[in-house]
Structure 1
């Protein structure tokens, strides 16, 4: 059992989501940065899809009520155990009464805290993820919450720390494939020209981009588009011309044309991009 003493801006329970419910109008949701969730779980010996805590910007404070093995990955929020600094992406052994505290992340948006055994709240439609758009899944964490931890898995952690590649590049390069509605634009390749900037309008649903340099995305077809299915990473272009990259809690349908789709391997990076981060799209392949 773990006691939540502080949460920062937002902390939710996330796993790898609930696929298979599109016909009921329910999206997948799950961790915004799946790679960081998987790494945190591997570090503590959990299955990759075990439920963990997704922390926006930092500020989480957890008190262990018994011995727990934990790990913190994702956005590099400075972590301490009882005031002593501990490494990122490393195994943390907390005894009963000890406190893990995350400071403000230096870069990125979302950190992940995994506990050996996984966060064992009741699943909804087969997942423990919070879908912030639909309201499905466990409520966002609040101070005073007590989180049950599942049985310790048979796998034994085999590393103390994992090397994590970090980028200091000011510009985030994102690969995308044009379509399915690129023909609705006068020149869809304008997506790849110039630079975009992540706006302040970003959450688990999507990241809106502002044009920083380069030509605008101009509609060639002005007709209304029938509602269509939306995939993770879809780049939807509303009438404003500001594209939105759909993230974990995106709607499963939409009525604006999708000019392209971000490749799966780059969606995690978009989910970690802070407002003001410069983005360049590049053709995939």
Structure 2
């Protein structure tokens, strides 16, 4: 059992979400940075989809009421176990009764704390993920919450001492594919998007990242009928300021999408923090 002593700004339980239900209006949700999430689980011998805790901007403290193995990945944040510093991106043993603290990251936004055996909260539609937009899954964690842990029986042995992680770039370059609605914009819209850095607005969460910079100008008047949306879509509202859709995005939207992130770039987008700059490249 894990007791939440302090959740930090936002802590949620996440797994790989609810794929395959968008046609029913059910978003996928799941870990915003799947790359870091999967790594955390591998480090403690879990299946990659085992539920873990996603921390936004650190600041969390968790009390373990039985011994466990944990790993923290993602944003570069200090980790301590009963006050003793421990490296991230590596398995760490937590004695029964110990307090695990994850501090404020020096870079990046989201960290993942995986526990051997996984977090065993109840499933909703086949997933333990918290979806902030739809309200599906467990509520965001609060002080005093208790999280049950799954069994480690039958899991792979822990065989990796550390997984070296490259530092997160100060100005990430996200690769994009144009369209599907780039014809709704002027001919130089994609060139504008790829030639100038954009700044991450404070208005960002698991649903999406709003950007400030040169406006993406429309070539058509009127409105687009609602259509399906995917993770990584760059939707452009009438203001011309693009929004990157992340894990909790709606299943449909009525603003045109000028481009979509390459799948490998979604994890980098999930680590963007307010005030940071980002560039796009075809």
Normalised-by-shorter TM-score class: over 0.9
User: Tell me, what secondary structure is at the counterpart of 1:108?
Assistant: strand
Alignment of 1:65-84 (within 5 A): 65-84=65-84
1:30-89 residue CA offsets vs partner (Å, 9 max, x unmatched): 001001110000000000010000001111111111110111111111111111100011
8 Å Cα contact 1:172/1:277 also seen in 2: no
Render the CA deviation track for 1:151-186: whole Å, top value 9, x for unaligned.
10421111121111113x432101000001001111
The CA deviation at 1:23 is: 2.4
Distance, in Å, in 1 between the alignment partners of 2:215 and 2:33 is 29
Once residues 220 and 21 of structure 1 are traced to their aligned partners in structure 2, the CA distance between those partners, rounded to angstroms, is 33
Whether the aligned pair in 2 keeps the contact of 1:121 and 1:147 (CA below 8 Å) is: yes
Give 1:42's aligned residue. Answer: 42
Aligned position for 1:150: 150
Post-superposition offset of 1:140: 0.9
Q: Which residue is 2:167 aligned to?
A: 166
Q: What does 1:1-285 correspond to in 2, within 5 Å?
A: 1-152=1-152, 153-167=154-168, 169-187=169-187, 188-189=189-190, 190-211=192-213, 216-283=215-282
Measured in 1, the distance between the counterparts of 2:171 and 2:95 equals: 41
Gaps of 5+ in 1: none
Give the secondary-structure state (helix, strand or coil) at the position aligned to 2:278.
Answer: strand
Q: How far off is 1:209 after superposition?
A: 0.7
> Which string of whole-angstrom CA distances, capped at 9 and with x for unpartnered residues, describes residues 241-263 of structure 1?
00000000001100000000001
Which TM-score applies when normalising by structure 1?
0.96
Greater Cα offset, 154-163 or 113-122: 154-163
How many aligned positions are there?
Answer: 279
- 4+ residue runs over 6 A deviation: none
In structure 2, what is the Cα distance between the partners aligned to 1:122 and 1:30?
Answer: 15
| Cα distance in 1 for residues equivalent to 2:39 and 2:181 | 35
CA distance in 2, matches of 1:170, 1:3: 34
Q: Distance in 1 between matches of 2:184 and 2:195?
A: 18
In 2: Cα distance, 1:245 partner to 1:218 partner: 17
SS of residue in 1 equivalent to 2:193: helix
Return the alpha-carbon distance in structure 1 between the equivalents of residues 114 and 170 of structure 2: 29
Paired with 1:278 and 1:59, the residues of 2 have a C-alpha distance of 24
